[in-house]
Amino acid sequence: MKPMRFSWKNICLPISCINNTNQKTTTNLSKERLLMLSRQTSVRSKVYLSDFSNSTISLNDFSNSFLIDIHIFTYEELKTITQGFSKYNYLGEGGFGEVYKGFVDDSFKIGLKAQPVAVKALKQEGGQGHREWLAEVVILGQLKHPHLVNLIGYCCEDDHRLLVYEYMERGNLDEHLFQKFGGALPWLTRVKILIGAAKGLAFLHKEEKPVIYRDFKPSNILLSSDFSSKLSDFGLATDGSEGEDSNFTKSVMGTEGYAAPEYISAGQLTTMSDVFSFGVVLLEMLTARKAVEKYRSQRGRNLVEWARPMLKDPNKLERIIDPSLEGRYSVEGIRKAAALAYQCLSHNPKSRPTMTTVVKTLEPILDLKDIQNGPFVYIVPVAGATEVQDIKCKDDVKVVKEETVKEAKVLPQHRGGRKNRRKNKAKKSRSVYSDTTLYKSLGTSLYTPAK
């Protein structure tokens, strides 16, 4: 598949703008067939992105034939609902363009439900263009699923290209996982988000002509108020094939750190490419580390290269788990998720599971309730104390006492001082246990058994 070149300025959606004159016609539907569909408004027929590549028909010519409940807005209407694209309604910016919050109701369009919306405006000077805008309209205009963001409408007017989506209250996963808006995500919330995203990918891959998402990453996973997840930003999505009929392209598109190795090295693009990307995000959920962190040493810069060898070793797995979870997770669940990530990140595409299998593997993890309580440390005070030393271990409780100045052993400063300090620090940090269990063991009056 050769890269397509296009120009969209001053053109209102003629599909010829994404033509490649050097590319052979591969459309499934002829121009006459598309025109026929446009007249048969009572019968819906699936249309693919490839159907547009060699046609001069505009989307508006037959949009009523295949788009599901999509509204066409004017630029002035979108300007009104966002209060002139006010900075107070500004939500963020991506490769496509700026995003603003707005509000719509049936005063704009008959039958339009009153609701907050997110309005995304294509940057004319941006890296993405008409093809990406068109992909979102064609894909989300036909595919509806609980785990795909809902496209409400679009605007195509002069140079303006805008998309109107449902508003997702909690933003995207990247903000919660790495910027930690509202604190660290609990383990079961992470599993719930992953299951929703996996179901979205599985739905795309099950299409008669599979849709390859090609840009699966945390910033493209949007979250509702109850942390239900939905896939967004379909600008790089493309029609795909299964098995031997792989798509080959010289133009590798996506985000560094998430693309499958066979896609990067040979341009081989299949649904298994999305499975690899899912494995990267699953690994990010386990570690709370980004796929690529350039500030780290060469060895730890790429998350997959650094962490994948440890995913199948129970003795090493604990080293890579997000420390902000503080042990509050299902050990069995972590191991199952790690084993799944290991499979998804296989260099051999045929060794990776399908997204349907991924969903079936993740769903039982949500039912595992062997999650430890939050950390609690109790220190027995001793007069004249300066530092602590472990003196007793019973069951899962560690009692520590403060050591007097005379009992303290002073290590020579010139013999591995920094190394020893690290060891001592790590030793102390692991002394965290349930307060209820500790009170029972110590017999403190703060704990009163239930009668």
Contact 204, 142 (CB under 8 A): no
By CB atoms closer than 10 A (0-12, 13-18, 19+), residue 303 is buried
Its sign, for the CA torsion 330, 332, 333, 337, is positive
Contact 217, 284 (CB under 8 A): no
For residue 90, give Cα distances in angstroms to 80, 120, 268: 14, 10, 38
Q: How far is CA 102 from the centre of its chain?
A: 24
Token code pair at residue 3? 């890269």
Instruction: Report the alpha-carbon angle 209-165-97, nearest 5.
Output: 95
What H or E segment, with its residue span, contains residue 331? Answer: helix 331-344
How far is it, in rounded angstroms, from Cα 219 to Cα 232?
9
Token code pair at residue 356? 């349907």
What H or E segment, with its residue span, contains residue 317? Answer: helix 314-320
Catalytic residue among 215, 233, 274, 322: 215
Strand order across the beta sheet in which 151-157 lies? 71-72, 151-157, 160-166, 115-122, 97-104, 90-93
Tell me, yes or no, if 174 is annotated catalytic.
no
How far is it, in rounded angstroms, from Cα 180 to Cα 224?
16
* Residues pairing with 148 in the sheet: 231
Q: Is 120 annotated as a binding residue?
A: yes
Token code pair at residue 186? 């609990």
Q: Reduced to 3 states, what is the DSSP secondary structure of residue 174?
A: helix
What do you get for the CA distance between the two ends of the chain, in Å? 73
Contact 284, 290 (CB under 8 A): yes
Q: Which residues are annotated as a binding site for ATP?
A: 120
Q: Which residues are annotated as a binding site?
A: 120
Which residues form the catalytic set? 215
